[in-house]
Amino acid sequence: MIKKILFLVTVFISFGFLGNKLNMEWEYLFNGKDLSNWEKRGGEAQYEIEGDMIVGISGESTPNTFLCTKQSYSNFILELEFLVDDRMNAGVQIRSNSVDSYMNGRVHGYQVEIDPSERAWTAGIYDEARRGWLYDLRGNEAARKAFKHNEWNKLHIEAIGNSLKTWLNGVPASNLTDSMTRNGFIALQVHQMQTAGVKVKWKNIRILDLGTNTEFPTLLEGTN
């Protein structure tokens, strides 16, 4: 009986998520060696590797700069950690695109904000180069207080169907329903600044790619 149950669980994990990778394993987007799976778009801020981290470094008065995955994703769960200078505004693009027909290739799409300012809207959802703020945190004091200055913070992001949700250090932040874009790359943003040399660091960037599946993987419920 036990063997039968184990077999059924294995089958469920392997084939239960239509359109998804069969192994349902987390994939790390940074290979720890180089940025061969990424490409830079936009401005001239720099991205470097320091150990197991990707480091974004501001340039002086250069436009918003994005380090973008070469692969596009539709439905996924994304987790990462970041450490940001209090002078820096940054973000994580999801389901974003760059096409010649839109503003000469400007990166546009959903951005999960990294905002160490007094406003404290980290994990809010902004629509880069399109509609502006879609879900700010002015009414979510718990999420605003969850940000840790000069320490590592963790973002948990779910993009499944029309649902976009975020958590900051385990605290629910954004809960947006929007259908404008269903597919695109993931990118690490360094915002335009007047000061060069300001840094934001990212590590442990991992994704659970659900492919065409728009049902939340129930085996992961309660993990946030």
User: What would the pLDDT profile of 83-129 be if each residue is shown by its tens digit?
Assistant: 999 999 999 999 999 999 999 999 999 999 999 999 999 999 999 99
3-state secondary structure of 9: helix
Q: Quote the pTM value.
A: 0.87
Query: Residue 77 and residue 203: Cα distance in Å, rounded?
Result: 16
3-state secondary structure of 30: coil
Confidence label for 207 from pLDDT (cuts 50, 70 and 90): very high
Confidence label for 183 from pLDDT (cuts 50, 70 and 90): very high
| Domain assignment present for 11 | no
Confidence label for 7 from pLDDT (cuts 50, 70 and 90): very low
Number of domains in the chain: 1
| Domain assignment present for 13 | no
Of the candidates 184, 73, 77, 69, the one whose C-alpha atom is nearest the C-alpha of residue 128 is: 184
User: For residue range 11-49, what is the model confidence (pLDDT) as tens digits?
Assistant: 333 334 444 444 478 999 999 999 999 999 999 999 999
Contact 136, 124 (CB under 8 A): yes
**pLDDT > 90: what percent of the chain?**
82
Could you tell me the residue range of the domain that residue 147 belongs to?
26-220
| Domain assignment present for 172 | yes
| Domain assignment present for 106 | yes
| Domain assignment present for 21 | no
Q: What is the CATH number of the domain that holds 165?
A: 2.60.120.560
| Domain assignment present for 90 | yes
For residues 116, 133, 40, 89, the Cα torsion angle rounded to the nearest 10 degrees is: -20
pLDDT on residue 221: 47
Confidence label for 212 from pLDDT (cuts 50, 70 and 90): confident
Confidence label for 5 from pLDDT (cuts 50, 70 and 90): very low
| Domain assignment present for 16 | no
| Domain assignment present for 134 | yes
